[in-house]
Amino acid sequence: MIFYLMGGSAGAFVLIIIAYVILSKKMQKSEYKKIQELQQGTKEKNFSAEILFQKLYLTYLKIPFIKRYVLKVRRRLEIVNIDDEYNTRKGTAKILTKALAILLPLLLVTIWLTASNYLLMFILLIFELFMIDVLIDGSVDKIDDKILKEQIDFFSEIRHAYHEYNMVEEAVYQVSQDDERNVSAQGEKIYEILISEDPETELEKYYDIAPNSFLKEFAGVSYLTKEFGDRKVDGASLYLKNVNNITQEMQLEILKRDKLNYVFQSLSVISIAPVLLLEPLKNWAIHNFSFVASWYQGKPGMIVQILILILTFASYILVRKLKDNGSTGINTKNTENPWQAKLYKKKIVKKIVDLFLPKVGSKEYRKVQQYLKDSASSLKMEWLYINRITMAIVTCIVSIFLFGQLHRIAVNYIYSEPTTDYDLIGGLSKKDEKKAMEVTKEDNKILDQFRGKLKAQTKEIERAVRKLKYYEEAEDSEIKKVVERIEDKLKIINSEYLQWFEILLAFVFSIIAYMSPIWLLIFQVKMRQLEMEDEVMQFQTIILMLMRIERVNVEIILEWLERYSNIFKAPITRCVNNYEAGAWEALEAMKEEVSYTQFIRIIESMQAAVEKIPIRDAFDELDSERDYYQEKRKESNDRLIKRKGMIGKAIGFAPMVCMFVGYLIVPLVFIGLTSMSSTFSSMTAAK
């Protein structure tokens, strides 16, 4: 049988070889060979990172928690990679993969090291959650900064191309052929707008998706030059002068961003670092000064820990708001259908929220609406109040839960604390600690019997103590001390329950949480007010670019200012809407609405241009004092960065200072002095 099988196998092998040779000859003569040749240049022979990132993008979208970050990063990248879905997905996957490559090992190490300490695990996981947010935002900000720096070279090449072709659209087209730069995609989009049948409409669409205001300005100036033509001013091209003005603005913005990044580069990490140091500081203090163990392991230590965590969280948010405020970044939040909108559609929720909403037209409604406008918030009034109510409810529930946990910690400490009859300044030896724990175990037997019995008599406790084998040979004086000690412990245990004032405190915390979104809006408004001077100087640059272009009037200038405004957007919008009803009156109403002197001067110049003199004469001082305004802008930026840096450092270092002072120095000094005082009192009494 073996020989037959071997012979059959050999015969089958020969037949397979013959069939392979015949088929290969036929394939060489057929179309199959041509198809192989065509595919040869398109197939990836080895590992492809491009394909991997595309697959990772689809995988990340399926994971609920990570999907939130995917959409957040994507919204910002799809603006940079305009109409380029492939690069948007690739960039999103690359940023998230880098963040996860750092985060996942940290998560595993954290869980492994803190498996027995759930509080420390929770603290570290919160820290790592903040860290991934910082990493992702930092990665996307680098792309924004990169495209801004690329625009410097892009505009420089535009100047040379315009000299060569003397046509705006042709110059933009030629410079945009460099595929290695991200800004080239923006140039191609602007070129498509300039040659489209309805460039004005396409330009308005582009204004909504442009990565930064400088590209908006460039697209607008290019359109106006193509429509109305270029002209010579002081022997130079007006279009190139305007491109040069935009370039100078960009250079100032790049310097400003670099300085802000330098000032704030470590503040976000410093503001959340205390959550990492809480547990190591606690262990160090207990190891070296055992007399503070009761404070750290008891209720006071837990309360301070919670307060530092809350302060850390608040500081982190404020530092991020302070750094990002007034930047040219794009709002990446889902403003079309967020969770607040979905929740508000439910009838029960809508009825509850409407009870809290101020009446339309009331003083409270106008005040909150003004906060939303002045802070440039994307929230609607209903969404803001859903946030406030949600935070109040969550805070109340969490506060009550934490009060319950504090009581449980206090009781557990009584049950687990080594029992000694004297105050400890030094540490316990292993022998003394073992003996103290034996006493604790015996006390716990009595505590279990009388826990919850508020009317327990001293004689009952004494009888229970005498029944224990541990105290069979104890003298009456020793029994008396034991009973007194157990009574003290029972008082603490029986008093550790949720009390009325704690419920009241939970409601107070809820009110604070309910007000916190409004306070955050006020903080944003205050920070944005620091940007007023910078925005007005940007207005001056825009007016300088427009004032010498033919057919430009005050209404067009106002439309441009509205498009690029941030802080003064609301009054300018109202002025544009009321302009046709009366130009001078609309400008006068805007002048009464604002209080910033430099902006009022611009409004007065526009009023003069409406009724008396041409625009170029009304704003002639902007051109003649251009160098002065440039220097003033630099100095203004330096002052702004300095003020933001001072505020940021005060907020960022607050949790660290509170941790060292409130969690380390104060307990060591206060408890140390108290222990020494009681020890000396005992020694004096003994003498």
- pLDDT of amino acid 115: 72
Region at 475 (left for phi over 0; alpha for psi -120 to 50; beta for the rest): beta
Mean pLDDT confidence for 274-293: 79
Task: Provide the 3-class DSSP secondary structure of residue 232.
Answer: strand
Res 674 pLDDT > 80: no
Q: What is the pLDDT of residue 35?
A: 53
Better pLDDT: 55 or 682: 55
Select the more confidently predicted residue: 253 or 632. Answer: 253
For residue 90, what pLDDT is reported? 85
User: Residue 132 CA to chain centroid, in angstroms?
Assistant: 10
DSSP per-residue string spanning 378-445: ---HHHHHHHHHHHHHHHHHHHHHHHHHHHHHHHHHHHHSPP-SS--SSPPPHHHHHHHHHHHHHHHH
* pLDDT value of position 325: 46
pLDDT of residue 644: 83
In the DSSP assignment, the letter for residue 674 is: H
3-state secondary structure 53-87: HHHHHHHHHHCHHHHHHHHHHHHHHHHHCCCCHHH
Note the pLDDT tens digit of each residue in 434-464.
777 777 887 788 788 878 777 777 788 788 8
Lowest mean pLDDT among 10-19, 112-121, 422-431, 512-521: 422-431
Higher pLDDT, 389 or 63: 389
Buried b / exposed e along 651-672 (16+ C-beta atoms within 10 A): bbebbbebbeeebbeebbeebe
Instruction: Give me the percent of the chain exceeding a pLDDT of 70.
Output: 86
| Per-residue confidence (pLDDT) for residue 33, from 0 to 100 | 57
* Residue 119, pLDDT score: 66
- Kindly indicate the confidence band of residue 61, based on its pLDDT and cuts at 50, 70 and 90: confident
Q: How confident is the model at residue 512 (pLDDT cuts 50, 70, 90)?
A: very high
Looking at the predicted structure, is the pLDDT value of residue 331 above 70?
no
Spatial CA neighbour of 24 closest among 7, 36, 13, 10: 36
What pTM does this model have?
Answer: 0.69
- Tell me: the pLDDT tens digits for 594-638? 877 888 888 888 888 887 788 888 887 776 676 777 787 778 778
Q: Measured between alpha carbons, how far is residue 624 from residues 447, 603, 616, 619, 636 in Å?
A: 88, 19, 11, 9, 20
Instruction: Name the one residue in this structure whose structure tokens are 């990063």.
Output: 73
Among the residue ranges 130-134, 595-599, 649-653, the one predicted with the least confidence is: 130-134
Q: Of residues 126 and 335, which shows the higher confidence score? A: 126
**Which residue is it, tokens 């860290």?**
131
What 3-state class would DSSP assign to 495?
A: helix
Q: Give the span between the Cα atoms of 585 and 607, in whole angstroms.
A: 9
3-state helix, strand, coil split of the chain in percent (to 5) is 80, 0, 20
Who contacts 106 (Cβ-Cβ below 8 Å, separation ≥6)? Answer: 128, 131
At residue 334 the predicted structure's pLDDT band, cuts being 50, 70 and 90, is very low
- Mean of the pLDDT values across residues 536-556? 84
Helices (H), 166-237: 168-175, 183-195, 199-209, 213-228
pLDDT at residue 328, as a whole number:
36
CA-wise closest residue to 491 among 411, 400, 405, 403: 411
The type of residue at 156 is S
Lowest mean pLDDT of 38-47, 179-188, 280-289, 568-577, name the range: 38-47
> How far is the C-alpha of 635 from the C-alpha of 628, rounded, in Å?
11
CA–CA separation, 433 and 419 (whole Å): 9
**Per-residue pLDDT at 37 exceeds 80:** no
Residue 280, pLDDT above cutoff 50: yes
Q: pLDDT averaged over the chain?
A: 80
pLDDT, residue 392, reads 92
pLDDT digits (tens, 9 = 90+) for 233-251: 777 888 888 888 888 888 8
At 16, list the tokens: 């397979």
